[in-house]
């Protein structure tokens, strides 16, 4: 299949609006059993719109990269995929104290509800190391992680691992804090912000083809000029009580949401 035809078919399959979403996905997002802190972030993270935009189906094989201790997306994807699909949580090796805390919290979350999380598969990803057998995933999804790999200097090998994991025609869905397109891109993304055009170029450099962008998590109130970077904003509030009301009024960061296909 020619790439242009493939991309057109993929775009046609991506519901653009929440009202077009799968009712079972909507039910997973609205599930009252979800953690209250996670549910409170829905107005900023737009889970129904994001997963619909990526094109995830109940039959999909989905690898989520670094779900974190809170398991925000795990709460939605694991129940949604448990009957006909597969949800695979790819966590980094717990080498730092923070990573160990996240790993312990995530393990506790899975153990807390066997009905919802009993079929979750967990794997470890490091650089180019294979997470799953090559060419077996329908989707690799990652949220607000690209800047971390840029800081560590291993963004390219990490992206190559995602490319290897996906089937031909498989989709990489990615979200991150969006830097102004008029600012030079810091290769280490020390502020936490990444230019959208820079991200597209970087991801295409390992073989992916850009398909579409969405403004579902845009936030024009985010001025992106904070002394401690994006972490001044909620939910981190790194400056604690300093200008807390100001950052609360801004809300979570301005983010790009992108899809790429493996030819």
In a domain, 251, yes or no: no
Q: How many domains does the chain have?
A: 1
The proportion of the chain whose per-residue pLDDT surpasses 90, expressed as a percent, equals 85
Section 1-21 average pLDDT:
48
Residue 1 has pLDDT above 80, yes or no: no
Query: Would you state the structure tokens that stand for residue 39, as one six-digit string?
Result: 């549910």
At 186-238, the pLDDT tens digits run 999 999 999 999 999 999 999 999 999 999 999 999 999 999 999 999 999 99
Per the CB < 8 A criterion, the answer to whether 137 and 166 are in contact is: yes
Range of the domain at 182: 3-222+257-261
In a domain, 190, yes or no: yes
Which pLDDT value is given to residue 94? 85
At 19-76, the pLDDT tens digits run 678 999 999 999 999 999 999 999 999 999 999 999 999 999 999 999 999 999 999 9
Residue 262 has pLDDT above 90, yes or no: yes
Question: Parallel, antiparallel, or unpaired for β 137-143 and 86-92?
Answer: unpaired
In a domain, 74, yes or no: yes
Which pLDDT value is given to residue 13? 41
At 109-153, the pLDDT tens digits run 999 999 999 999 999 988 777 889 999 999 999 999 999 999 999
Which pLDDT value is given to residue 9? 41
In a domain, 234, yes or no: no
List strands edge to edge, sheet with 209-214. Answer: 121-125, 86-92, 61-65, 137-143, 166-177, 255-261, 209-214
Q: How sure is the predictor about 12, in pLDDT bands with cuts at 50, 70 and 90?
A: very low
Domain harbouring 45, CATH code = 3.40.50.150
Per the CB < 8 A criterion, the answer to whether 101 and 134 are in contact is: no
In a domain, 76, yes or no: yes
Phi and psi (nearest 5°) for 18? -60, -35
At 73-95, the pLDDT tens digits run 999 999 999 999 999 999 988 88
Which pLDDT value is given to residue 18? 57
Which pLDDT value is given to residue 21? 84
In a domain, 246, yes or no: no
Cβ-based burial of 195 (10 A; exposed 0-12, middle 13-18, buried ≥19)? buried
In a domain, 73, yes or no: yes
Which pLDDT value is given to residue 19? 62
Q: How far apart, in whole angstroms, are the C-alpha atoms of residue 140 and residue 86?
A: 12
In a domain, 233, yes or no: no
């Amino acid at each position: 299949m020619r790439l242009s035809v493939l991309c057109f078919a993929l775009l046609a399959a991506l519901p653009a609006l929440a009202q077009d979403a799968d009712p079972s996905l909507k039910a997973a997002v609205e599930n009252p059993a979800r953690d209250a802190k996670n549910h409170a972030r829905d107005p900023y993270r737009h889970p129904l719109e994001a997963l619909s935009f990526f094109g995830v189906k109940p039959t999909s094989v989905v690898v989520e990269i670094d779900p974190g201790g809170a398991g925000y997306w795990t709460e939605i994807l694991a129940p949604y995929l448990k009957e006909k699909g597969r949800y695979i949580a790819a966590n980094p090796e717990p080498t730092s104290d923070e990573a160990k805390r996240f790993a312990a919290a995530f393990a506790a979350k899975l153990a807390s509800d066997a009905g919802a999380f009993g079929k979750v598969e967990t794997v470890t990803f490091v650089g180019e190391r294979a997470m799953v057998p090559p060419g077996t995933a329908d989707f690799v999804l990652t949220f607000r992680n690209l800047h971390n790999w840029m800081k560590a200097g291993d963004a390219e090998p990490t992206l190559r691992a995602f490319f290897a994991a996906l089937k031909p025609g498989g989709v990489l869905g990615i979200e991150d804090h969006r830097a102004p397109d008029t600012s030079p891109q810091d290769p280490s993304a020390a502020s936490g912000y990444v230019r959208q055009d820079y991200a597209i170029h970087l991801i295409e450099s390992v073989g992916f083809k850009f398909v579409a962008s969405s403004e579902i998590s845009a936030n024009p109130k985010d001025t992106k000029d904070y002394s401690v970077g994006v972490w001044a904003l909620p939910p981190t509030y790194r400056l604690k009580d300093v200008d807390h009301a100001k950052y609360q009024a801004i809300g979570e960061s301005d983010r790009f949401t992108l899809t790429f296909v493996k030819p």
